[in-house]
């Protein structure tokens, strides 16, 4: 059986996406027999602030070109807040540019950004009012509010953990997420974004929280994995990973 080569563009300080995405796709492979390999290119980022995020985005074409050299089958642009900080609907502008850079003479290379994947997943699941947990300083959490609002997705409540050092974000305990969720007012919410950041670990708590609150739970990582699977023509189904990977996509992405 051929392997699906998954490319990831990650911030240089990210230690989570190269853990959670392979784990999710490994679970898929156990159930389906599919095989995956993972290949990363890194863009410098230490502190999660607008200036640093903008510089990191500027490295995106280099990263996409490197992954194109590896002839990966899809690329995940794994920094949600970096694209959101570029302005409303930024993923709609940036994904096609990176896809063109990453394409080889033989094949196009789909680009899935975490920002775009989160928006598309929430819309596909019909989640128009969400509560969110972020590791960001409050000003960056407000930026997420505005980004989602452009798609008529309302953030009804949020928790911001106020961590600016991206390395420290990756060291946050996912076991603490249920406690953070308890601080949220979920009465108007029809869904929960448990981790609106690809660096904040969340996978061990996703299904536990979904079962506890009785609402669909999505994270930046599960939304990204959902679209990576779809981009290589596989069903976006992974056991024990919450709503993003438990329901078929109503509008499947074009596969490679």
Q: Answer yes or no: do 32 and 145 share one domain.
A: no
- What's the mean pLDDT when you consider all of the chain? 91
- Where in the sequence is the domain holding 155, given as residue range(s)? 117-220
**Residues classed as catalytic:** 79, 197
Q: Answer yes or no: do 136 and 216 share one domain.
A: yes
Q: Answer yes or no: do 45 and 169 share one domain.
A: no
Band of residue 58 on the pLDDT scale cut at 50, 70, 90: confident
Torsion sign over Cα 133, 136, 138, 139: negative
Secondary structure (DSSP) of 114-176 = HHHHHHHHHHHTT--EEEEEESS-HHHHHHHHHHHHTTT-EEEEEEE----BHHHHHTS-GGG
Q: Answer yes or no: do 66 and 169 share one domain.
A: no
CATH of the domain at 22: 3.40.50.12500
Residue 103 falls within a domain, yes or no?
Answer: yes
Q: What tens digit of pLDDT does each residue of 73-124 get?
A: 999 998 888 889 889 999 999 999 899 888 865 678 999 999 999 999 999 9
Residue 234 falls within a domain, yes or no?
Answer: yes
Stated length of the chain:
256
Q: Answer yes or no: do 103 and 230 share one domain.
A: yes
Our count of domains for the chain comes to: 2
Residue 31 falls within a domain, yes or no?
Answer: yes
The pLDDT, as a whole number, for residue 255 is 47
Q: What tens digit of pLDDT does each residue of 193-251 get?
A: 999 999 999 999 999 999 999 999 999 999 999 999 999 999 999 999 999 999 666 55
Q: Answer yes or no: do 172 and 208 share one domain.
A: yes
Band of residue 192 on the pLDDT scale cut at 50, 70, 90: very high
Q: Answer yes or no: do 20 and 112 share one domain.
A: yes
């Amino acid at each position: 059986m051929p392997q699906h080569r998954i490319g990831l563009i990650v911030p240089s300080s990210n230690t989570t996406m190269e853990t959670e995405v392979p784990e999710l796709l490994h679970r898929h492979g156990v159930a389906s027999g599919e095989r995956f390999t993972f290949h990363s290119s890194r863009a410098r980022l230490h502190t999660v602030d607008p200036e640093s995020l903008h510089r990191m985005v500027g490295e995106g074409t280099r990263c996409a070109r490197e992954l194109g050299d590896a002839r990966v089958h899809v690329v995940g642009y794994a920094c949600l807040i970096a694209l959101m900080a570029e302005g409303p609907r930024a993923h709609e502008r940036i994904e096609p540019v990176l896809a063109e850079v990453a394409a080889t003479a033989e094949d196009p290379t789909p680009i899935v950004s975490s920002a775009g994947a989160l928006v598309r997943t929430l819309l596909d699941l019909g989640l128009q009012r969400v509560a969110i947990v972020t590791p960001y300083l409050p000003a960056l959490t407000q930026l997420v509010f505005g980004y989602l609002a452009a798609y008529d997705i309302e953030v009804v409540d949020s928790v911001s953990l106020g961590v600016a050092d991206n390395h420290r974000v990756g060291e946050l305990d996912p076991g603490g997420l249920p406690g953070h969720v308890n601080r949220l007012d979920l009465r108007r919410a029809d869904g929960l974004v448990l981790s609106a950041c690809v660096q904040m670990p969340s996978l061990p708590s996703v299904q536990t929280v979904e079962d506890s609150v009785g609402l669909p739970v999505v994270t930046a990582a599960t939304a990204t994995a959902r679209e990576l699977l779809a981009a290589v023509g596989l069903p976006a189904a992974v056991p024990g990973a919450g709503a993003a990977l438990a329901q078929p996509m109503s509008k499947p992405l074009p596969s490679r």
